[in-house]
A and B are shown apart, each in its own frame.
Chain A
């Protein structure tokens, strides 16, 4: 059960690709990545979630953490979430604080 991230930053747009399973054990590492990746000026945080196969409430709290850290002026865009991950987010109402997008062509 692994979880990995790949970060890319360009002109204030921070993109983090999420791969694997985000649970109570892997969530702290994502929080660290978010802190490090958003240390500078951030206009937008893009989370690529096509390969995120599982997300528990611990992962959801990572999104809440990012939202609190970046503030309301910074969009958080979640791209390509699986139906189950998207349902997890919408069930708690947090979809109102994210921009949910369909997957991009690779």
Chain B
């Protein structure tokens, strides 16, 4: 398994380039194609942006991001200390189907994240939201070079 970790402190959308690079490394290690790599990055961006803007109300707070590749999936776990929030509870899909997007309805980012991923699991444990974003590895995306943990830890300071 290949694992990586990124910690954002105080950032709202936070360190966009680092997030993009973080996901890019994971997606590359997992053999995801460019489309699925893009959607994983978009989902990580949307979830972290939502945490910063709504969870922490723009005031900043801890966001821990870790991810890894295993035999069946590429996953990214995003942990924050904002009030409990399950992204599934704010899915605007039904409203979008009625063209509400034209009215600037909120929740677009969560909608994109939920629809771009293969799975998003949420739990609230010990005062923390834990969102696990998953892209399953398809045939052809699993390579013989998988294996080993590089344990890299890329920590980002506050703004």
Contacts A1-B16, A88-B112; A93 near B45 (Cβ below 8 A): no
> Are the CB atoms of A92 and B111 closer together than 8 Å?
yes
| A1 / chain B contacts, CB cutoff of 8 Å | 16-17, 20
Interface string of B102-118 (1 = CB under 8 A from A): 11100011011001000
CB distance from B112 to the nearest CB of A (A): 6
> Are the CB atoms of A57 and B104 closer together than 8 Å?
no
| A56 / chain B contacts, CB cutoff of 8 Å | 42, 45-46, 49, 109, 112
Give CA–CA (A71, B92) in the complex, Å: 24
The dominant DSSP class at the A interface is: helix
A55's nearest neighbour on chain B, judged by CB, is: B42
CB distance from A73 to the nearest CB of B (A): 15
Contacts A23-B16, A23-B45, A57-B108; A64 near B39 (Cβ below 8 A): no
| B38 / chain A contacts, CB cutoff of 8 Å | 54, 84
Give CA–CA (A68, B100) in the complex, Å: 12
> Are the CB atoms of B115 and A91 closer together than 8 Å?
yes
A41 at the interface (CB under 8 A from B): no
CB distance from A102 to the nearest CB of B (A): 19
| B20 / chain A contacts, CB cutoff of 8 Å | 1, 21, 54
User: Please, how many residues of chain A have a CB less than 8 angstroms from a CB on the other chain?
Assistant: 25
Residues 73-106 of A at the B interface (beta carbon under 8 Å): 83-84, 87-88, 91-94, 96-97
A61 at the interface (CB under 8 A from B): yes
> Are the CB atoms of B102 and A67 closer together than 8 Å?
yes
> Are the CB atoms of A97 and B102 closer together than 8 Å?
yes
A23's nearest neighbour on chain B, judged by CB, is: B16
Give CA–CA (A22, B10) in the complex, Å: 22
List residues of chain B with CB under 8 Å of any chain A CB: 12-13, 16-17, 20, 34-35, 38-39, 41-42, 45-46, 49, 53, 96-97, 99, 101-104, 108-109, 111-112, 115
Query: Can you list 5 residue pairs at the A/B interface with Cβ under 8 Å?
Result: A54-B41, A56-B45, A56-B109, A57-B46, A97-B102
